[in-house]
């Protein structure tokens, strides 16, 4: 039996290409560091904490055993390129929500990455049906430069919110700016509203 496949609303919506964007063939690799450190996968732990009833701490093997989906989604970078129909596979964020049980007042999500990158987003976008923690891209283990071992993919926001090398998810009452958000980028980042910079 095939895995459940979700076609993201980013693919099916009528105004598919967000304003100010153009199509390219493949995502350009962007990193805030020159060399991303190698991960010792035996020591890797994926953690969820903050405004939740059930904090999580999982090994990579345990992450791979969680219920999973395939998501086909477009990918929109704030530098104005967009890529059609990337195939991701991993754990739907809705599954993380089921396990960790965020409380009523968990309105924001803050994401921690192995090399020090962080980003923030509203809970509402984290919880979308096409958001996932991906460990495969086009059917193969996600390449290191695209986020191995685990990548938060949030197709309905600009790509800087799709954090690579994720190790931690914190549910929060209050918003807090991540790496690019501290440097002027938008706290939400909805491409169809052209929320590029804070104030847009």
Ligand X SMILES: Nc1nc2c(c(=O)[nH]1)N[C@H]1C(S)=C(S)[C@@H](COP(=O)(O)O)O[C@H]1N2
Can you tell me which of 32, 85, 138, 193 binds ligand X, judged by CB under 6 A? Answer: 32
How far apart CA 112 and CA 157 sit, in angstroms, is 17
The dihedral built from the CA positions of residue 87, 11, 170 and 65, taken in this order, carries a sign that is negative
Can you tell me which of 7, 29, 55, 141 binds ligand X, judged by CB under 6 A? Answer: 29
Can you tell me which of 63, 77, 132, 169 binds Mo ion, judged by CB under 5 A? Answer: 77
- In angstroms, what is the minimal distance from the CB of 14 to Mo ion? 25
Q: How many CB atoms lie within 10 A of CB 5?
A: 11
Can you tell me which of 128, 146, 186, 196 binds ligand X, judged by CB under 6 A? Answer: 146
160 contributes a contact to Mo ion by CB under 5 A: yes
Please give the structure tokens belonging to residue 192.
């169809």
How far apart CA 94 and CA 92 sit, in angstroms, is 5
- In angstroms, what is the minimal distance from the CB of 159 to Mo ion? 5
Can you tell me which of 4, 30, 55, 173 binds ligand X, judged by CB under 6 A? Answer: 30
Q: How many chain residues are in contact with ligand X, going by CB under 6 A?
A: 17
The site map against ligand X for 99-138 (x = CB under 6 A) is --------------x-x-x---------------------
Q: How many CB atoms lie within 10 A of CB 169?
A: 24
Residues 76-95 that bind ligand X (CB under 6 A): 77
User: Which of 68, 119 has the CB closer to ligand X?
Assistant: 119
Which residues contact ligand X (rule: CB under 6 A)?
27-32, 77, 113, 115, 117, 146, 159-160, 162-165
Which residues contact Mo ion (rule: CB under 5 A)?
30, 77, 160
């Amino acid at each position: 039996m095939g895995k459940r496949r979700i076609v993201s609303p980013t693919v099916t919506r009528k105004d598919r290409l967000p304003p100010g964007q153009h199509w390219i063939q493949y995502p350009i690799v962007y990193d805030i560091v020159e060399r991303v450190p190698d991960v010792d996968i035996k020591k890797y732990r994926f953690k969820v904490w903050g405004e939740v009833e059930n904090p999580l701490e999982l090994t990579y093997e345990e992450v791979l055993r969680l219920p999973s989906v395939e998501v086909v989604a477009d990918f929109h970078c704030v530098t104005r390129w967009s890529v059609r129909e990337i195939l991701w596979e991993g754990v739907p964020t809705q599954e993380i929500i089921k396990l960790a049980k965020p409380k009523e007042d968990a309105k924001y999500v803050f994401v921690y990455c192995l090399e020090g990158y962080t980003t923030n987003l509203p809970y509402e976008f984290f919880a979308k049906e096409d958001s996932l923690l991906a460990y495969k891209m086009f059917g193969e283990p996600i390449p290191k430069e695209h986020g191995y071992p685990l990548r938060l993919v949030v197709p309905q926001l600009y790509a800087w919110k799709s954090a690579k090398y994720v190790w931690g998810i914190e549910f929060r009452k209050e918003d807090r700016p991540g790496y690019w958000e501290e440097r002027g980028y938008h706290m939400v980042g909805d491409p169809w509203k052209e929320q590029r910079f804070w104030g847009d």
